[in-house]
């Protein structure tokens, strides 16, 4: 078959060893660690304000101990050594992968090729995640996801501003120009997004590796000033630090040291577990520890002289010397890489949310022919650019920026802890005590960080909370409204043999009641079986009669010389409601009708071999087709691929009539037409006692006014390759 690939080509988690593993580990440096790797630029000043007094020796050792053990317990122990084992069979990680692992879509359960797509999702165990937790966990996951997107704004603002701000150490007279210079760098970054990152991405790993080497070397040199800083490895120093100072707010500054740790898990699918474990444990973790210990040593020795900008003031040598400017240049480059990585992550996240129907369809442009998933979203790019520039201009003080930064990180960390704890029981099938222990230990740590960041809300953290809240409301609302639309489509579908009959069929066929339609969802779809078709038989469509008898009358159907693709709701059996309305408006059946359902599976990518499944329908020229794609795959329905599958099916099942049918198919292939429903949702009246008027008014506004207008602004066909002339929208009034 043309779409076939070799048996071993099915995508699984990347498995490499030797030099290939070392190369893959090197590549992770530029993609995964650019955010957490640039944290030394601002962490210590996030704990001790640049405008305040220098801390005492014991306070510095205690603060450094908190940083060292935060890096050890959260990125190293929690993410690298534990969470990476919770990736899917394909090696995917992140919040969405965890949620989809707990609650796979129905499409996954019905996919004929599901065992080859993600065997790890299946288990003989009867233990399943309770349905009662699905919506609460979905809402919680969406909240964490929305804050991750808000975090993308502050990652670029904080890192670039902190890097550029170092120039004031060598050139104090330029300090007033830090904000304009930062905005200029950010403008160049966002304006370059339409060109894609394929040509520049090969520089990311070398740049980040040089940056990590520089901060490690400067850290070693600075440690020689006060070797006693190694006492920070004693965890009791961190505890005594907070007991002695009583300043819980300082933990929000410590949190800045672990920003970016979620990327270790979320980017698992681009690399593999071993490469991330190797690169972080051997390169990133030691470099960060040395950098922080070096800064702490200089802060103890030269406190008042370096507190103004701890990172740049502790660079060995003269403040205007060669090493200073080398570090300065690479700091800016490293922060731009970190910003680029976060922007790309937001693009990828929006693509996943659109695929999972958690965001309105937004136009996407794919910038690479070879690298799957490299996507550019114009609307998101310009919104991010405006938001970042406004944030940089509004928060002119770096201390204010760091106050606002970190809340989103703590929320996503806690979200991951919750989902992993639940997965230990329902996906990994480990004893419940394992999930409880994981939640209590890491939930306590995440809760400490979260509480500290909550106290920063009046000091600037309300901004990412507000942005994330708006996104969360939008995503939750779209899930709800889109679910009502999909439910209507599923309930009102009809079996093809009850709607279209041949000349020998019975004239009077009862309509299917709503209860029967719902019951049919669990039954076998008799329409999607291979039966001999009589292409010469006269076909009729059954429509409601206007007589008092209440029976259906049949009208003769012509055959149009077109190939039409009717898009139907995934997971549902029968023909879509748009097909029924199409036939009623134009009483003619296309010569070839393909009933296509799009199924997004809880895996990142689906191979071409598994992407299309085609079945014959009883009516001649009609076929059922399923299109399977992963939540990171591009929506790209290829009608020629479906036709190839149809031709292969006909050749096997109808060898005598196949040549003529294939000839007609090929003639009409270039003029295929997509038929999609255009719903006009109408809110039905609900009974809610005394609150009925208010409930129904709010419901009507949300469904008819808000969702109805958004539905027009963001049509589902926005990312289709087909032109507008190849798409027919069939209007449907849906009372939901």
CATH 1.20.1740.10 at 30-86+134-481, yes or no:
yes
Mean pLDDT along residues 237-253? 90
What's the confidence (pLDDT) of residue 602? 61
Q: Secondary structure of 252-275 in the HEC alphabet?
A: HHHHHHHCCCHHHHHCHHHCCHHH
What CA dihedral angle connects 255, 260, 261 and 267, to 10 degrees? 170
Q: How far apart are CA 160 and CA 401, in angstroms?
A: 11
pLDDT at 456: 79
Does residue 38 surpass a pLDDT of 70? yes
Q: Are 60 and 299 in contact (CB under 8 A)?
A: yes
Most confident of the ranges 65-69, 391-395, 706-710, 719-723: 65-69
Model pLDDT, residue 119? 41
Structure tokens belonging to residue 179: 């904000």
- The DSSP bridge pattern shows strands 622-630 and 588-601 to be parallel
For residue 23, pLDDT over 90 is answered with no
What confidence score (pLDDT) does residue 229 get?
Answer: 95
Task: Please name which of 419, 593, 437, 604 lies closest in space to residue 500, comparing C-alpha atoms.
Answer: 593
Among residues 368, 345, 346, the alpha carbon closest in space to that of 195 is found at 368
- Token code pair at residue 624: 């059922």
Segment (H or E) for 150? helix 134-164
- Residue 502's DSSP bridge partners are 539
Q: Which residues of 360-369 are buried (b: 16+ CB within 10 A; e: fewer)?
A: bbbebebbee
Locate 278 and state its tokens.
């190797």
Q: Is 708 exposed, middle or buried (0-12, 13-18, 19+ CB in 10 A)?
A: middle
Is residue 613 within 8 A of residue 570, CB to CB? The reply is no
If pLDDT is split at 50, 70 and 90, which confidence band does 241 have?
Answer: very high
Determine contact, residues 338/159, Cβ cutoff 8 Å: yes
> For residues 216 and 290, is the Cβ–Cβ distance under 8 A?
yes
> What pLDDT does residue 234 have?
95
pLDDT, mean of residues 401-426: 84
Average pLDDT over residues 190-205: 72
The pLDDT of residue 630: 75
Q: What is the pLDDT of residue 515?
A: 35
Q: Shortest CA distance to 294 belongs to which of 319, 311, 317?
A: 311
Instruction: Please report the pLDDT score of residue 288 as a whole number.
Output: 96
- Rounded Cα–Cα distance for residues 183 and 485 (Å): 43
How is the chain split into domains, by residue range? 30-86+134-481, 496-735
- pLDDT exceeds cutoff 50 at 605: yes
Instruction: Evaluate whether 671 touches 640 at the Cβ level (below 8 Å).
Output: no
| 265 closest CA partner among 22, 75, 425 | 75
Q: At what angle do helices 407-426 and 95-102 cross, to 10 degrees?
A: 30
Task: Give 271's pLDDT tier (boundaries 50, 70, 90).
Answer: confident
The answer to whether residue 280 scores a pLDDT higher than 90 is yes
Rounded to whole angstroms, the Cα distance separating 666 from 643 reads 8
pLDDT of residue 536: 47
Please give the average per-residue pLDDT across 651-657, as a whole number: 86
Residue 317, token pair as written in the block: 């040598």
pLDDT, position 299: 94
Residue with tokens 């976060």: 342
Query: At 454, which helix (H) or strand (E)?
Result: helix 432-454
Give the closest residue to 88 by CA, choosing from 76, 104, 72: 104
Would you say residue 657 has pLDDT above 50? yes
Q: Which is more confidently placed, 507 or 169?
A: 169
Longest alpha-carbon distance in the chain: 99
Torsion 241-247-250-251 (CA) sign: positive
570 SS3 class: coil
Contacts of residue 521, Cβ cutoff 8 Å, sequence gap at least 6: 490, 572, 573
Q: Which residue has the tokens 């149009």?
A: 560
Q: Which of 282, 254, 272 is nearest to 76 (CA)?
A: 282
DSSP class of residue 130 equals -
Q: What is the pLDDT of residue 551?
A: 55
Highest averaged pLDDT of the listed ranges 212-216, 405-409, 546-550? 212-216
Which residue(s) pair with 542 in the sheet?
Answer: 554
Give yes or no for a contact between 706 and 698, defined as CB atoms under 8 angstroms apart. no
How far apart CA 152 and CA 341 sit, in angstroms, is 9
pTM score, two decimals?
Answer: 0.77
Helix count (H) and strand count (E) of the chain? Answer: 31, 11
Distances in whole angstroms, Cα of residue 79 to Cα of each of 84, 217, 420, 438, 547: 6, 26, 11, 12, 69
pLDDT band at 553 (very low <50, low <70, confident <90, very high): low
pLDDT at 472 over 70: yes
pLDDT tens figures, 82-111: 988 886 555 567 777 788 778 876 544 445
* CA-only gyration radius of the chain, Å: 30
Rounded Cα–Cα distance for residues 655 and 339 (Å):
58
Q: Looking at residue 106, what is its pLDDT? A: 56
Name the more confident of 584 and 616.
616
pLDDT in tens, 422-454: 999 888 888 999 999 999 999 999 999 988 888
- Residue 678 predicted with pLDDT over 70: yes
Q: In what order do the strands lie in the sheet with 500-502?
A: 500-502, 539-544, 552-556
Q: What is d(CA 325, CA 329) in angstroms, rounded to the nearest whole number?
A: 6
Whether pLDDT at 579 is above 70: yes
Between CA 10 and CA 413 the distance in angstroms is 32
Higher pLDDT, 671 or 377: 377
**Comparing C-alpha atoms, which of 54, 74, 48, 468 is closest to residue 255?**
74
Reference 729, options 208, 199, 716; nearest CA is: 716
**How many beta carbons lie within 10 A of that of residue 671, not counting itself?**
10
For residues 391 and 382, the answer to whether their CB atoms sit within 8 Å is: no
**pLDDT value at residue 606:** 80
Q: Check if the beta carbon of residue 309 is closer than 8 Å to that of residue 324.
A: no
By DSSP bridging, strand 375-376 and strand 612-616 are unpaired
Instruction: Please give the mean pLDDT across all residues of the chain.
Output: 79
Instruction: Give residues with Cβ within 8 angstroms of 52, minimum separation 6.
Output: 307
Q: Taking 70 as the threshold, does the pLDDT of residue 461 lie above it?
A: yes
Beta pairing class for 552-556 and 539-544:
antiparallel
| DSSP-derived secondary structure for 154-183 | HHHHHHHHHHHTTHHHH-GGGGGGHHHHHH
- By the 8 A CB rule, do 445 and 294 touch? no
Phi/psi for 595 (5° steps) reads -95, 105
123: pLDDT confidence band, cut at 50, 70 and 90? Answer: very low
Question: Rounded to the nearest 5 degrees, what angle is found at the Cα of 504, between the Cα atoms of 499 and 506?
Answer: 55
Cβ(60)–Cβ(296) under 8 Å? Answer: yes
Q: Which residue has the higher pLDDT, 283 or 319?
A: 283
> Vertex 625, ends 106 and 103: CA angle to 5°?
10
Rounded to 5 degrees, what are φ and ψ at 558? -85, 175
Average pLDDT rounded to a whole number, residues 350-359:
81
pLDDT computed for residue 723 by the predictor: 61
Residue with structure tokens 């709800």? 480
CA contacts within 13 A on the Cβ side of 234: 11
C-alpha dihedral sign at 566, 569, 573, 579? negative
Q: At what angle do helices 285-301 and 204-223 cross, to 10 degrees?
A: 40
Residue 32, pLDDT above cutoff 90: no
């Amino acid at each position: 078959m043309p779409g076939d690939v070799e048996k071993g080509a099915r995508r699984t988690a990347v498995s490499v060893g030797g030099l290939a593993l070392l190369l893959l580990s090197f590549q992770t440096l530029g993609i995964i660690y650019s955010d957490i790797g640039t944290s030394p630029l601002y962490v210590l000043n996030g704990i001790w304000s640049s405008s305040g007094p220098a801390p005492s020796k014991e306070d510095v050792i205690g603060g450094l101990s908190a940083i060292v053990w935060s890096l050890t317990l959260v990125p190293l122990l929690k993410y690298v050594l534990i969470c990476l084992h919770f990736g899917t069979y394909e090696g995917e990680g992140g919040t969405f992968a965890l949620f989809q692992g707990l609650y796979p879509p129905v499409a996954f359960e019905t996919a004929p090729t599901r065992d080859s797509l993600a065997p790890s999702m299946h288990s003989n165990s009867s233990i399943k995640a309770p349905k009662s937790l699905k919506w609460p966990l979905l809402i919680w996951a969406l909240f964490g996801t929305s804050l991750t997107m808000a975090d993308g704004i502050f990652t670029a603002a904080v890192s670039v501003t902190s890097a550029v701000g170092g120039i004031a150490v060598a050139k104090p007279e330029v300090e007033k120009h830090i904000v304009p210079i930062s905005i200029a760098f950010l403008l160049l970054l966002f304006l370059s997004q339409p060109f894609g990152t394929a040509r520049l991405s090969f520089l990311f790993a070398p740049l980040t590796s040089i940056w990590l080497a520089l901060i490690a070397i400067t850290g070693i040199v600075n440690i020689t000033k006060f070797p006693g800083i190694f006492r920070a490895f004693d965890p009791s120093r961190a505890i005594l630090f907070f007991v002695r100072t009583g300043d819980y707010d300082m933990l929000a500054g410590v949190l800045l040291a672990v920003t970016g740790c979620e990327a270790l898990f979320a980017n698992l699918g681009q690399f593999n577990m071993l490469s991330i474990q190797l690169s972080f444990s051997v390169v990133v973790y030691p470099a960060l520890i040395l950098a922080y210990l070096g800064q702490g040593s200089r802060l103890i020795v030269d406190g008042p002289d370096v507190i103004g900008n701890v990172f740049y003031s502790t660079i060995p040598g003269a403040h205007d010397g060669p090493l200073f400017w080398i570090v300065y240049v690479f700091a800016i480059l490293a922060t731009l890489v970190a910003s680029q990585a976060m922007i790309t992550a937001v693009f990828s996240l929006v693509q996943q949310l659109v695929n999972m129907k958690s965001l309105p369809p937004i136009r996407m442009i794919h910038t690479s022919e070879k690298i799957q998933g490299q996507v550019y979203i114009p609307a998101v790019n310009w919104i991010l650019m405006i938001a970042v520039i406004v944030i940089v201009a509004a928060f002119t003080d770096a201390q204010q920026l760091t106050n606002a930064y970190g809340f989103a990180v703590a929320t996503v960390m806690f979200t991951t802890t919750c989902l992993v704890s639940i997965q230990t029981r329902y996906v990994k099938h480990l004893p419940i005590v394992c999930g409880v222990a994981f939640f209590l230990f890491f939930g306590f740590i995440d809760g400490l960080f979260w509480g500290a960041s909550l106290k920063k809300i009046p000091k600037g953290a309300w901004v990412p909370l507000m942005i994330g809240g708006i996104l969360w409301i939008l995503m939750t609302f779209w899930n709800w409204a889109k679910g009502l639309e999909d439910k209507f489509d599923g309930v009102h579908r009809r079996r093809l043999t009850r709607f279209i009959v041949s000349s020998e069929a019975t004239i009077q066929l009862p309509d299917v009641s709503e209860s029967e339609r719902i019951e049919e969802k669990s039954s076998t779809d008799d329409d999607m079986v291979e039966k001999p078709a009589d292409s010469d038989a006269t076909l009729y469509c059954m429509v409601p009669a206007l007589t008092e008898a209440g029976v259906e009358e049949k009208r003769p159907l012509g055959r149009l010389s077109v190939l039409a693709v009717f898009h139907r709701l995934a997971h549902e059996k029968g023909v879509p409601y748009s097909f029924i309305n199409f036939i009623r408006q134009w009483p003619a059946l296309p010569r070839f009708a393909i009933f296509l359902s799009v199924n997004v599976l809880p895996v990142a990518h689906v191979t071409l071999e598994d992407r299309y499944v085609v079945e014959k329908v009883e009516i001649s020229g009609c076929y059922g087709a399923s299109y399977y794609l992963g939540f990171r795959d591009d929506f790209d329905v290829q009608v020629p691929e479906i036709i190839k599958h149809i031709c292969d099916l006909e050749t096997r099942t109808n060898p005598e009539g196949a040549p003529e049918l294939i000839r007609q198919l090929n003639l009409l292939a270039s003029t295929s037409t997509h038929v999609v429903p255009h719903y006009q949702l109408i809110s039905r009246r609900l009974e809610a006692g005394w609150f009925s008027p208010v409930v129904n008014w709010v419901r009507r506004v949300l469904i008819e006014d808000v969702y109805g207008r958004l539905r027009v602004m963001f049509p589902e066909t926005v990312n289709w390759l087909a032109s507008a002339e190849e798409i027919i929208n069939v209007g449907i009034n849906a009372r939901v």
